[in-house]
Amino acid sequence: MTWLLILGLFFFFALNVPFAFAMLLTSIIYLLVIGDVPLVVVAQRVAVGTDAYLLLAIPFFFLAAELMNSGGIMERLVRLAQALVGHVRGGLGHVNVLSSMLFAGISGSAVADVAGLGRLELEMMRKGGYDRDMAAAITGASATIGPIIPPSIPLVLYAGIAEVSVGRLFLGGVVPGLLMAAFLMAAVYRIARRRNYPKEVRVPAAELLRAVGRSIPILVLPFIILGGILSGAFTPTEASVVAAAYALAVGALLLREIRWPSLGPILVKVGADTARLMFIIASASLFGWILAREGVPQALAAGFLAVSQEPWAVLLMINVLLFLLGCFMEPLTVMVILVPIFLPLIQQLGIDPVHFGVVVTLNLMIGLITPPVGMVMFVIIGLTNISIERFARAVLPFLGALVLVLLLVTYVPSAVLFLPDLIMGAR
């Protein structure tokens, strides 16, 4: 009956039914057709899917990102990035990437990055003489760094599914996030030289120090989160509350950019985003349970192992599958469905689950900028009013850079595991 699940899912996708509803409807139809499972299972599995203490961190990280978006934080980060790399050829492109990397340590969300910081970056590049396609491509590609550098909402979700340490995952994302920024900046530099894009005047040392000083209250947040988790001062869930409280204190009391009346709309947006994500997790939990009942994990593992039992080959097949699915499905949906399926396989092959979690997350974040359903792509298109075809052409060099990082992180596990093993000890 697996065919019914797959066909039903793609049938609802073709009708443009939202992912969560598509999975829920397909699951209910399956249960009605087989007839030997009571429908009360729907309510039970949906409830179980969201019954995890760690998932409480998600709304608070959403809240921290929204508060930072509204609190005058972005302008300071952009000024700091401009002071650091604006003088390099293609300076505003480098500023775009570096700003996204700095904001990644606060938001943990690619969509939060592009919806908030992206507006500022696009306007800055427009005034600097960059064409809309190039500005859109850089802004979209750099936003994918957000969920890799800690804190990260997808990594929190993966930790809950795989039952691994959030602290190790957060540390594991640092080096890959830096590599993403470095490879994207290399692509920007190459294109800037070919197109003779301008560079900014190098700022005086005194102005650079002022920009650093003004950004310190913002840049310490990732260290507070990581330091608190690693020291045992608070759990990952408590860390998210600390992040939200700190963002509110900085925005409202220090920078005085957040006004109390504006908190209402912020909370409503956070509630809506959280409800949407939780509905996806709940529906995917039911769908994943049915896949497990049908023996899909065992069949998929047997199929991969029939091709090759070498870890590198299995990782390549998983990456190809995730990349293809990421072009058509929402990343967190893919994660919730497939991670439980892949975990027994990677454990059998001796692949570290922390390494695997970063690989999966990085792969799925690339899907955010690929047609036809990349979420970041659609936000960028809405902001710049360019077509999907124009965005797809412009983003290709940056997509290539991100794929190179994915391959590097996949086949050099120490790029992920070096920091966790150094700070928390090898397991």
pLDDT value of position 314: 92
Residue 393 in tokens: 């052409």
pLDDT value of position 172: 94
pLDDT value of position 328: 74
pLDDT value of position 414: 94
Nearest to 398 by CA among 187, 203, 243, 221: 187
Mean pLDDT by 10 residues, the chain (427 residues): 76 81 87 83 83 81 78 73 82 84 72 72 79 89 88 88 90 94 93 80 82 82 82 83 86 78 86 86 84 78 85 93 82 85 90 96 91 79 84 92 97 94 82
pLDDT value of position 420: 93
pLDDT value of position 72: 63
pLDDT value of position 398: 95
The three-state DSSP-derived secondary structure of the chain is: CHHHHHHHHHHHHHCCCCHHHHHHHHHHHHHHHHCCCCCHHHHHHHHHHCCCHHHHHHHHHHHHHHHHHHCCHHHHHHHHHHHHHCCCCCHHHHHHHHHHHHHHHHHCCHHHHHHHHHHHHHHHHHHCCCCHHHHHHHHHHHHCCCCCCCCCHHHHHHHHHHCCCHHHHHHHCHHHHHHHHHHHHHHHHHHHHHHCCCCCCCCCHHHHHHHHHHHHHHHHHHHHHHHHHHHCCCCHHHHHHHHHHHHHHHHHHHCCCCCHHHHHHHHHHHHHHHHHHHHHHHHHHHHHHHHHHCCHHHHHHHHHHHHCCCHHHHHHHHHHHHHHHHCCCCHHHHHHHHHHHHHHHHHHCCCCHHHHHHHHHHHHHHHHHCCCCCHHHHHHHHHHCCCHHHHHHHHHHHHHHHHHHHHHHHHCCHHHHHHHHHHHCCC
pLDDT value of position 409: 97
229, 166 contact by CB (below 8 A): yes
